[in-house]
Amino acid sequence: GENVEQHPSTLSVQEGDSAVIKCTYSDSASNYFPWYKQELGKRPQLIIDIRSNVGEKKDQRIAVTLNKTAKHFSLHITETQPEDSAVYFCAPYLNQAGTALIFGKGTTLSVSS
């Protein structure tokens, strides 16, 4: 069946530190790997995504790396700020699931100043 594992479930860092969240998926045919940020009571907001033809993508302080062989992709946030505090979800398309995004269980990131 569909399987998306996300680690860690919680992550606490000091402002200015880096944060890394890892997502492991089961379907080797997957080709699209987004990360969503969800603040309390708000919508999941797409913050970065990567397609299977590249290994890394960067957007200012946020980057995503993809290892298709090992079937995992990671979110990297550098120079964290208190406003980065939120729940982060990986949500790959799993080929067997067709058009559905399959969300991980989420990582609660807390950035303290």
Q: Is the dihedral of CA 59, 74, 69, 32 positive or negative?
A: negative
User: Which of 6, 80 has the CB closer to other proteins?
Assistant: 6
Assign residue 70 a region (left: φ > 0; alpha: ψ between -120 and 50; beta: otherwise). Answer: alpha
CA dist 109 and 44 (Å) reads: 15
Q: How many residues bind other proteins (CB under 8 A)?
A: 26
CA dist 39 and 3 (Å) reads: 24
Binding residue for other proteins, selected from 10, 31, 67, 81, defined by CB under 8 A: 31
User: Which of 15, 34 has the CB closer to other proteins?
Assistant: 34
User: Which of 44, 80 has the CB closer to other proteins?
Assistant: 44
33-52 binders of other proteins (CB under 8 A): 34, 36, 42-46, 49, 51
Q: How many helices (H) and strands (E) does the chain have?
A: 0, 10
72-101 binders of other proteins (CB under 8 A): 89, 91, 93, 95, 97-101
Query: By the criterion CB under 8 A, which residues form the site for other proteins?
Result: 30-32, 34, 36, 42-46, 49, 51, 89, 91, 93, 95, 97-106
